[in-house]
Amino acid sequence: MANAKWPKETWTRAAMHAIARGGISAVSVDALAAQLGATRGSFYWHFKDRDALLATAIAAWEETDTAQVEARLADIADAKRRMRTLFREIAFNEASDEVPGLEAAIFAQPDHPLIAPVLRRVTERRLQILAAGFKDLGLSPAKARRQAVLVYATYVGWLQLRRTAAHLVPEVAAEGRDARLAVDHLVDQLIPA
């Protein structure tokens, strides 16, 4: 258990990079084995099947994501600034993954059976953070919740438009003048003074 040639973690890291590169379908036991210089048989000593590897990789992402969002927002006392930060930093600077592109790849397949439950938990946590912020800004609990849903839906759609239509919709790009104007416009309209 301690002296494995290709410990479980090695397969998991390789899978995370494969997901970041080409999504779930890019995770091939055969390809990973070849890449590591191991055999497919070896893989099945550590994992029940391919899905178990995928679940482990996605769970690893969830843990680091939870920790990061918490850390980033806890610092900011002022509610309005916290909201702007959520959009500016998290939505626009492609959250600082330790595996670059992994979050984007996971958000790109929200309906995958292994991703959906994780995304539900992440969504609920973020909605609670947003709703708490809007309550701090003076909204009633019900209105704060509705506003949180509205803002989060916009965030989710914004990310999707960036992936699928960035050239077409310069407003949602990660940088540029159009994008900055659009974000200001968005923040002004979605976040009460």
Query: Binding DNA by CB under 7 A: which of 9, 13, 31, 93?
Result: 31
Query: Binding DNA by CB under 7 A: which of 13, 35, 51, 138?
Result: 51
Q: Which of 51, 60, 68, 63 is nearest to 10 (CA)?
A: 60
CB 135 within 8 A of CB 50: no
Q: Which of residues 111-170 bind a copy of itself (CB under 8 A)?
A: 111, 116, 119-120, 123-124, 127, 143, 145-147, 149-150, 152-158, 160-161, 163-165, 168-169
Question: Terminal CA-to-CA distance of the chain, rounded, Å?
Answer: 57
What Rg do the C-alpha atoms of the chain give, in angstroms? Answer: 19
Find which of DNA, a copy of itself, none residue 164 binds, CB within 5 to 8 Å per kind.
a copy of itself
Compute the distance between CA of residue 133 and CA of residue 147 in angstroms, rounded to an integer. Answer: 10
Question: Does 106 sit near a copy of itself (CB under 8 A)?
Answer: no
Compute the distance between CA of residue 152 and CA of residue 127 in angstroms, rounded to an integer. Answer: 7
Contacts with a copy of itself by CB under 8 A lie at 23, 25, 108-111, 116, 119-120, 123-124, 127, 143, 145-147, 149-150, 152-158, 160-161, 163-165, 168-169, 171-172, 181-182, 185-186, 189-190
